Structure 1
Amino acid sequence: MRRHVWAGLAENPALPAEAVDRLVELPELSMELAGRSGLTAGQVEALAGRGVVEARILAESGQLTAARVDPARQPVAALGLLRAGLAPARWAVELVERPELREQLAACPNLPAEVARRLAGDADLAVAVELAEETTDREVAALLASHPSEHVRAALGYNRGASPAVLADLINNRPPLASCDTCARHSVPWVHPPDCPDPDCTLPGGAACDGTHQYARHAILEAALGNPAAPVTAAMRYLDAPSAFLREKLAARTDLPAHAYAALAADPAIRVRSPLASNPAIGDELLRRLAEDPSDEVRRSAAQHPLIALDALDRLCGTVRLGPLPPPRIAAATCSELDASAAAANPELRRLTALRRDLPDAVRDLLAADPVAKVAAAVAPHPGLDDGQLRAMHRRHGRAVAAGIAASPDASTALLAELVHADHNVATLRALADHPAADGATLTTCLRDARARRKAAVHPALPLPQLLLLLDDSDPVTAQCAAANPALPVAEMLRLMPGAGRRLNGSMA
């Protein structure tokens, strides 16, 4: 029997307890089983010993507790509890003696200082990198800022808990980086050729060193300049940096002076102007300029600015495609602003308004009667629309709104059935397959589409004959979903079990 079917059984909430015991014997199913509720103490102990991720899942669900774990006997389970922040910090003193656990131990919160310092000096570089990414201890962070490895310093630069002083040291190269991966392997000056002849070379494209370790320093700067805690005075030194990647990091910061934003708005690189356009710290004048930028990407970013004026958004949204979510400005619009945008001449602004799911009833109903199909389709999934409104919408616009109607939480079973008998597309089938009110006949029709089949496979109303057929579907995801369906009869679940009719030998072969 295929593993994906067993994985589905492991996720099935209706699986009998004795069957869970049998699946626990298979290490390959540990992740799926760890996500179950109602596991026995023995099952929890077995799964928690399989891996730190499984142990953490069990800890966060409350099924694995520190009171039931001996860190000397169950180090993996103990580490999972530590990762979840649900174990005594002193356990780390015992676990640090196990080299195979140190990298994951380094990611644990609130490590004792002596453990963190020991991990910072570990011979395995991956341990120090993990610690640099996660530590909240300022003394440990200061120690890591002087680490000889560029990778550790860069990891520390991304750490949102790093102090401004530590980040300033990283930006200002204090203490100076003494070497890098490039000059450790090649005589300088050296630039990694794009057609590197060495099949064993692991240096990234663009790696270079002229004695200043410029490639390594760039990685550190990119990390630190993007950290909101980095001091603005240190960051401003790179306003005119030759690298657009560094200027891009500055463009996303919210603490720069106005003249810096003005300079960045004139930057020739789209990758710099784009994050600037959605930066809440820029003023209205600059935002309006960026909303008329020649680049679609920049204008699209400006549309996501939380404070863009509605008249600017009105002009802008007709020039770029903005997707299926209301932009922040529309999401925060007041009732009077919603009245205005729902009645706007621009159908794209009306569509963006229709994407909200908390509209006043009058605004919702106005948009439901909109003469433009994309507006009606956007509001169709809004709660509160009755069958009469949805049917009128369908008569007016046909298949263009069918998928939206199929996603309406208030659509009746009868209306959903009508959609599959009318002209429709695969998007309609996928929405129908996910609808709680869909009946067996509707769901059976949805099986024509591969993606809709996956959703229908877990639907409790799918007729049993179709559900059983999906267990043998050529798509393993569909078969797994079918096996996870709690409507599957217990007898069928037991028939699908590995080793059904004989004792397990522990193998999945």
Structure 2
Amino acid sequence: MNRLLSGLAANPALPPALVDRLMALALKEARTGPESELAEDVLHELADRADLRHDQVLELAAQAQSTAVVLAYRGRLAAADVDPGSMPYAAIALLDEGRGRPEWARLLAAHPDSGVRWKLASCPNLPADVVDLLAVDPDVEVVEELALWTATPVTVRLALHPDPRVRFAVAANPATPLEAVVALAEDPELTLNWALSERTDLPQSLYARLAADPLPGVRATYARNPGIGQELIRVLAADREDSVRRALTEHPDVPLGLLAELVAGGRAGWRLLPRIAAATPAELAELAASRQAAVRMLVAQRRDLPAELRDALAVDPDAAVVRAVAPHPGLPEGLLRAMVERHGVQVLAGVAANPDASGPLLEHLTQHRPGVRKALQDVARHPHATGPALLACLPDRTARPLAAAHPALPPAVVTELLADEDRQVAEAAAGNPALPRTAMTALVP
């Protein structure tokens, strides 16, 4: 029942009268049993609803600090709705969003609970006097959090802090001035290879030193960093670890020729890489004409290809290239069906993920034998899926909860699934807007 009521609380078609009843039930449960799982789950889902009245929002916020924080971040609570004394974390959420009152920061910076001060320290645009107060907080974890997130000049001062944890946080902060970071890189107490891996403004000599780390994971992080220059790119391209060379393919300025070398022979499902996303039409055409299927597959990841290039890749002799281009919007249905006829199970999931796939095509995909589980999942979540296509997805245990939530599923089937032995399926059915109102009413005591 908990799962059903939780799903029902998220149902966008739930009538206002049932929202009221469900909220009253959950609030009553919360008051009589503060640890009630039913109350927690239902109230969490109700907080997500866009149709709550303001009085309901306030009632939910008063029930639990965690719910108030969620409502604050979602814009449902305004400054006038929050008392920083009784709802400190909701007040911090509003400060974090730039919708709180400056005097709250001064009040909360002196809060007796260090957890509140710690959370406050990560907020942007705090008044200068609040930053100064947090910078000398008796709890070093508060100072460390400030050092990690503040964009103020206090980082220069905190770079000299006696606690290495604070200095490390200063080094990891992208807003710390370069001079302070370079000085910290010479600090014998700190190992900053991870901490500086996101900085894009370091001297190339420092990048070269940091990227020579014995850990492949560290080298891979620097291989992705847009700040490293061509010389270091070439060095990392010869790295002995596959993970480092693979990471280098994600660098936005990797030369296209080198990129082709790095992916040569690879049959993995490459995602859209930054250099490919920025490629010109002429560069894309040149890459699409490559003899290497792995290179053509990179181009096929773009979703804004010219129609003639997109359609040429759709009839590529290599199934991996076709699979990569199959989800591209605008592909004619004839080409999508031809893909399935030529390559079968290798492209079913890609075709099912195409946003323009029609209802009849999706039905056709579900009837393919052998089937593909991933294709059934994509059909079950597809907005064009028809009732027959969704019914064909129900026997698969991974596609079943997705199909149970789809509004095109026949209402009678949705109602039956409320009693499904898989609780995830039952919850999805309860949240389905196709669930008849009579069934909704019957669920709420």
TM bin, normalised by shorter chain, reads 0.7 to 0.9
Instruction: Name the CA distance, whole Å, in 2 between partners of 1:331 and 1:116.
Output: 40
For residues 376-391 of structure 1, the aligned pairs below 5 Å read 376-391=322-337
1:155 maps to 169
Cα distance in 1 for residues equivalent to 2:211 and 2:130: 46
Q: 1:166 to 1:16 in 2, by over 3 A?
A: farther
Contact 2:198 2:225 in 1 (8 A): no
Q: Identical aligned pairs, as a percentage?
A: 45
Of the three residues 124, 132, 151, the one matched with 1:109 is 124
Partners of 1:159 and 1:227 within 8 A in 2 = no
Residues 367 and 415 of structure 1: is their aligned pair in 2 closer, same or farther, counting only changes over 3 Å? same
Matches of 1:294 and 1:171 in 2, distance apart?
26
Residue of structure 1 aligned with 2:44, choices 31, 45, 49: 31
Distance in 2 (alpha carbons) for counterparts of 1:255 and 1:143? 20
Query: Would you say the 8 A contact 1:467–1:482 is kept in 2?
Result: yes
Equivalent of 1:481, from 417, 423, 428?
Answer: 428
Of the three residues 102, 106, 113, the one matched with 1:93 is: 106
1:19 aligns with 2:34: no
Cα separation, partners in 2 of 1:263 and 1:452, compared to 1, 3 Å: same
CA distance 1:336–1:164, change in 2 (3 Å): closer
> TM (normalized to structure 2)?
0.84
Question: What letter matches 1:291 in structure 2?
Answer: A
Q: Secondary structure, in 3 states, of the residue corresponding to 2:395?
A: coil
Distance 1:260 1:121 in 2: 31
Matches within 5 A, 1:235-384: 254-257=201-204, 270-284=216-230, 287-288=233-234, 290-384=236-330
What is the identity, as a one-letter code, of the residue corresponding to 2:379? Answer: L
Q: Cα distance 1:320–1:162, how it changes in 2: closer, same or farther (>3 A)?
A: same
**Equivalent AA in structure 2 for residue 45 of structure 1:** L
1:129–1:151: 8 Å Cα contact kept in structure 2? yes
Cα distance 1:90–1:440, how it changes in 2: closer, same or farther (>3 A)? same
Who is 2:409 aligned against? 462
1:49 matched to 2:62: yes
Would the alpha carbon gap of residues 450 and 135 (structure 1) be closer, same or farther in structure 2, given more than 3 Å must change? same
Larger radius of gyration: 1
**Secondary structure of the residue that 1:450 maps to in structure 2?**
coil
Hey, what's the Cα distance between the residues in 2 that align with 1:300 and 1:51?
Answer: 46
**Aligned AA for 2:438?**
A
Q: Call closer, same or farther: CA 1:486–1:334 in 2, change over 3 Å.
A: same
Instruction: Give the aligned residue type for 1:407.
Output: A
Q: Residues 140-198 of structure 1, C-alpha deviation per residue, up to 9 Å, x if partnerless?
A: x455445454433333332333334554565555xxxxxxxxxxxxxxxxxxxxxxxxx
Deviations 1:182-217 (A, max 9, x none): xxxxxxxxxxxxxxxxxxxxxxxxxxxxxxxx7xx3
**1:297–1:80 CA distance, 2 compared to 1 (3 A):** closer
Contact 1:106-1:131 at 8 Å conserved across structures: yes
Range moving further from structure 2, 123-132 or 86-95 = 123-132
Which runs of 5 or more residues in structure 2 are unaligned? 31-38
CA contact (8 A) 1:66 1:87 kept: yes
Label 1:380 to 1:54 Cα distance change in 2 as closer, same or farther (>3 A): same
**Partner-residue secondary structure (3-state), 1:437:** coil
**Deviation digits for residues 98-132 of structure 1, max 9, x if unmatched?**
42333323333333344344444444444333333
CA distance in structure 2 between the partners assigned to 1:125 and 1:266 by the alignment:
32
Residue type of the alignment partner of 1:83 = D
* CA pair 123-10 structure 1, distance change in 2 beyond 3 A: farther
- Maintained 8 Å contact 1:8/1:482: yes
- Structure 2 counterpart of 1:158, which letter? A
Greater CA deviation, 48-57 or 300-309? 48-57
2:410 equivalent to 1:438? no
Aligned residue among 345, 349, 357 for 1:399: 345
Which deviates the most, 401-410 or 9-18? 9-18
Q: CA 1:457/1:153 → structure 2, altered by over 3 Å: closer, same or farther?
A: farther
2:142 to 127, 132, 142: 127
The 1-side partners of 2:164 and 2:210 are apart by: 28
Aligned residues: 428
Pair 1:280–1:222, CA change in 2 (3 A) = closer
Contact in 1 for aligned 2:380/2:399 (Cα 8 Å): yes
Distance 1:115 1:412 in 2: 58
Map Cα deviations across residues 461-482 of structure 1 (whole Å, 9 max, x no partner): 1122332343344444433332
Aligned-partner Cα distance in 2 for 1:496–1:344: 59
Call closer, same or farther: CA 1:398–1:471 in 2, change over 3 Å. Answer: same
SS at match of 1:451: coil
Alignment check: 8 A CA contact 1:121 1:128 kept? yes
Q: Give the stretch that moved more between structures: 32-41 or 403-412.
A: 32-41
Taking structure 1 as the reference length, the TM-score comes to 0.75
Report the AA paired with residue 105 of structure 2. A
Offset of residue 422 of structure 1: 1.7
> Once the 2 structures are TM-superposed, how far is the Cα of residue 420 of structure 1 from its aligned partner?
1.4
